[in-house]
Structure 1
Amino acid sequence: ALLFIENVGNLVCPAMWDLGERAKIAILSVTEGEDKPLKYPDMFAAARLLVLNKIDLLPHVDFDVPRCIEYALRVNPAIEVLLVSAKTGQGMDAWLDWLLESAHTHDMHGASEAHAHPHAAAPAAATAAGAA
């Protein structure tokens, strides 16, 4: 099962509460500014994935993608980053693949048990909580 929990308020709130999730995902729109990983380090330190959304707007906003990624990695060297545009679909396949791989878990069965799906080297998360 996959459960999305969207925060209300700023990026401080979801980082400080254990909601029972297996992974936090920070979703950052390029319209918000590349400084957010430094402004809200708790959220980005807790996140397993940073989704940079609305990349179709990059030609129209002052947003430095490499700098944002650098800031996120400074706060969390293990964070993964995906660039997506929900409007154009760019990066959505990678986002969906990440979700599917992360949703797979062996809590109910061992990896060596026979079952109808392959086991690629994938993260062991089953649910994700996000921040927008």
Structure 2
Amino acid sequence: MLSALHHPKLADCRRLFLRNYEVMINIGVHDFEKKGEQRVLINVDLYIPLALSTPMDDQLEEVVDYDFMRETIARRMAQGHVHLQESLCDDVVRAMLAHPKVRAARVSTMKPDVYPDCEGVGVEVFQIKESL
């Protein structure tokens, strides 16, 4: 996949990422899916302007903390059942873009245990803020 950093609005950004964050969530539209949690892998890329994320004093307050991504996802998981991966991705990307330093975000989810003959099924969304 071509890096979104090649997008002109992101040329002055650095990319923070969270890879294959495994969560258990009640997700799905089928009756059997509503009876328990499923394993979902979540990936996040945040695009942050270098001017807002280049530390001068090597201090955590000067950058976006990785904990922000995990805590944001955990808050969404705590809200309960979601029918569609598309809805989950949309919720998470909106929450990521709410951070004042984040210019763009990419979120993907994958359910790895749906079919025995493939790695997983999933969805991905990418959004850029109009301003920042």
Instruction: Please indicate the TM-score interval, normalised by the length of the shorter structure.
Output: under 0.3
The higher-RCO structure (CA 8 Å, 6+ apart) is 1
TM-score for the superposition, normalised by structure 2: 0.26
- Structure number with the higher strand fraction is 2
